[in-house]
Each structure stands twice: as C-alpha cells, then as structure tokens.
Chains A and B, each alone.
Chain A
Amino acid sequence: MAEELELIPVPTRILTDKDDIIEAIEHYTQGKIGPDDLVCSAESVVAITQGRYVRPEDLEISCLAQLCCRFIPDYGSLASPHGMQSLMDVEGKWRVAFALFAGFVGKIFGQSGLFYKWGGEQTAMIDDVTGTMPPFDKCIVYGPGDPYGMAQKMKDRLGCFGAMIADVNDLKRSRVVGVSSGVKGELAAKLLIDNPFGNASQKTPICIIKNYRQYQEKHS
C-alpha cells in the first residue's frame, strides 16, 4: 500500500534572532522526519532568526520614501513610510523610485508587475508592522537571506528528501521562497495553500509533508 501524504504542523516556542533556524527545526522535529519527507518553514521565521527585521523607530525616513509609499495601495506592506524606507535601505532608494515610476508607466501600457520585477527581490517579501506574530508585530520583517542555500542546508542536516522555505498566508497564497535541489517547489507549494503554519499569532512555523517523495514522483 502506498504511503499516504500527510501534513504535520510543528509547534515551537517563539523563535528569535538568538536562535539558529536549522538547530530549532532539528530540535522540534526530533523523531518526526523520515527520508521521504519534505520539511517546510515559514519565510518570516527564517528571516527573524537571521536578524533580518527592523523597528520603524530605528529607520531614518526619507521624503522620497514618504512620497513613494503613497502610490502603493494601503493594504500593501510598502504602503507605510517605514515599509518603503526599509525596502529603499536594502535595494537602493533611486532603484525603488525608478521601479515604481516604471511600474506606473507600465500599467498605462497594460504591463503590470514591473515594480516588483525591477524594484529588487525584497519588494515582494517585506512584511510591514502587524504582518508577523508578536513580539515582531511591531517590526518590519524582510525576506530571508539566501533562501535556496538555507533550504539546502536544512535538507543536508535533517536527512530528509527536501526542504522548502515558503511564504504562505490565509488568503490562499502559497509561494516558494527557497527550495533544496530535487524538490519541485511549485508542486509542494500547492500543498500548503491552506496555510498549515496558521495565522500570525500561532506558533507553528514548521510543517512536515510526510511521504512527499512518492507524491512528487507520482505527479511528475
């Protein structure tokens, strides 16, 4: 009988920049991971353990950031001066301003997504205030650094079939941020569409997809 696919959310304590994400996953998943499994981690938690977050009070808000943020819909993470400034700090303020302008011009000509394409990889990854669980709800959290390298390290250390860092939310969005070699990220991301990590206040940043290897082979 074929082994069944199963999603196992793994609760943890709140992880901080004092933690090593791979050691934390190893600790909390002890005895639960097999060689056919895929280990998934929420991108914001990986970023937090890398210290990739900033408090709005620690940013020096430029006039350009205050202007540019006004052109982002108010539900977006870059809609606040802090969100926009945090992006400008890592991607360059003129690059971001140019990408925003290009995105605006592109939309006039029916080409959408140019801002996210040219504004730098963090454009789509930053979570503004309220976007992450306490105590990081008062912080701006960047996307993780070297997500593909991190996923590969997870896989190598945990001895599983693969590892993935994903950006998943309750609005049925599931996006691959980084994945180890041999894993079809898009296929795996679809399995996380119901957000097994839970909402921002829940402490389940790890999810094991049991018997994922067979599932991927079957759907290849």
Chain B
Amino acid sequence: MTVLYAILSLVALAVVFVWLYLAVSGLEKVTVHTGAAWELESKDEEKIVLKKKLVFANEGKQCATIMDAMVRSQLPYEQYDGIEVRGKAELEGAPREDDYFEAVLIQRKGDAPDSLDIWAKVALYPRKGMSLAEALSHMVDMAVDFIWQETGRTPCRYKKVRLELAASDICKLAGVTLVKD
C-alpha cells in the first residue's frame, strides 16, 4: 500500500510540476494596433493606392509566427459599382511586387523584434468608363478585412480585424470633392 501511495504521490507531483511549468512559461499573445491613419501611397489616372500601418506586437512569453496575411475588400457592387477594390498585406521593409506574404516570426516580448509593422494596402480602380476622380466623387464608406494566420505554441488559426475607410477620407487623400448622392 505504501508503494502505491508513493507512486500516486510522484504522479501527482509530476502533474503539478508540468502544470506550473506551463503556467510560468506562458504562450504567445499577438495584439494588433490599428490606430494609425490611412495614408496616400500613390495616385495616377488608373488607380489610387491607400495604406494603413498595423502594428503586430507579441505581448506573450513565447515566439509567434504570422504565417500569412491578406486584405479583403468588403465593398460589394450592390453598394457601389463605380470602384473596384484590390487589397494586399505587405511587411514593412520587405516590399514584394506579387501578393505573396512570406511567413515571419515575432519574438516574445522583450526580444527583438517583438513587434512588426504590416501595411494594409488597398488599390481603387474606376469602373464603368468613369475617370478616377469621377468614380471617387461618388464613393461610399467602405470596409476592408485584414485577415492573418497566426501560430506559436498553439495550433494555427485565422484571425481578422475590420478596417473602416470613410468616403470623405478617401476623397480627401485623393484631392477629390465628395458629391452627395
């Protein structure tokens, strides 16, 4: 009986040790700061490209990985069909001409780099034979979803934040007067 108690005590001790170890070592914890304003990246007759900086900070105790990231337009033609929206996510300092997002690590809090800047970019193209200025002048408030795939000590999962883009802000950045329809 004593041997059985001794074995049970050892197992209980091991469970407590593992539980304590896991609690102390912690997990990754990625938070996304979306407070930056939209900026104008480029504009020509065919399109205007706007961008917004998202700060991905790892506030956890373990390394995190952003496996993929993308920007998805939420402007259906039912709402406004004068503009076509294309989005892309781009890591600061690693511009790419394709829309590929290379998986990247974010170190634990305190190790460098424990945060990354990722740009949400949207390109707006005029449709239905309109000029860019004309199409933008009738623009509506729109949203884009920034979607990313994240992992670390926990299985990979998709997350998203919604980014709002007001028609008045788009027109201001484009230098166009918004028409009240």
Residues in chain A within 8 A of chain B (CB atoms) = 56-57, 61, 66-67, 69-71, 74-75, 79-82, 129-130, 134-135, 137-138, 201
Contact = CB atoms under 8 A, between A and B. Distances in A.
The 10 closest A-B pairs by CB, nearest first: A74-B63, A137-B103, A130-B103, A74-B62, A61-B155, A81-B155, A56-B156, A129-B103, A134-B102, A138-B67
Contacts of B68: 138
Nearest to A71: B21
Q: Which of A80, A82, A130 neighbours the largest number of chain B CB atoms within 10 Å of its CB?
A: A80
A73 to B, nearest CB: 9
A135 B100 contact: yes
Given A74-B63, A135-B100, A137-B102, A57 B156 contact: yes
B179 to A, nearest CB: 44
11 contacts: A56-B67, A71-B21, A74-B62, A80-B153, A81-B151, A81-B154, A82-B156, A129-B151, A134-B100, A137-B103, A138-B67
B108 interface: yes
Interface string B11-31: 000000010011001000000
Contact of B155 (A82, A134, A201): A82
Contacts of A70: 21-22, 25, 153
Contacts of A56: 67, 151, 155-156
B105 interface: yes
A130 B94 CA distance: 15
Contacts of A135: 100
Nearest to B96: A134
Contacts, number: 52
B161 interface: no
Nearest to A200: B102
Given A56-B155, A74-B62, 18 more contacts: A67-B18, A70-B25, A71-B21, A74-B153, A79-B62, A81-B151, A81-B153, A81-B154, A82-B151, A82-B156, A129-B67, A129-B103, A129-B151, A130-B65, A134-B102, A137-B102, A138-B68, A138-B103
A88 to B, nearest CB: 14
A81 to B, nearest CB: 5
A61 B154 CA distance: 10
Contacts of A81: 151, 153-155
B10 interface: no
Nearest to A137: B103
A82 B155 CA distance: 7
A79 B153 contact: yes
Nearest to A76: B63
A138 B21 CA distance: 29
A23 B68 CA distance: 32
Contacts of A138: 67-68, 103
Contacts of A129: 65, 67, 103, 151
A57 B62 CA distance: 21
Nearest to B104: A130
Contacts of A134: 100, 102
Contacts of A201: 102
A82 B65 CA distance: 12
Contacts of B22: 70
B108 A74 contact: yes
A71 B104 CA distance: 22
A66 B22 CA distance: 11
A86 to B, nearest CB: 12
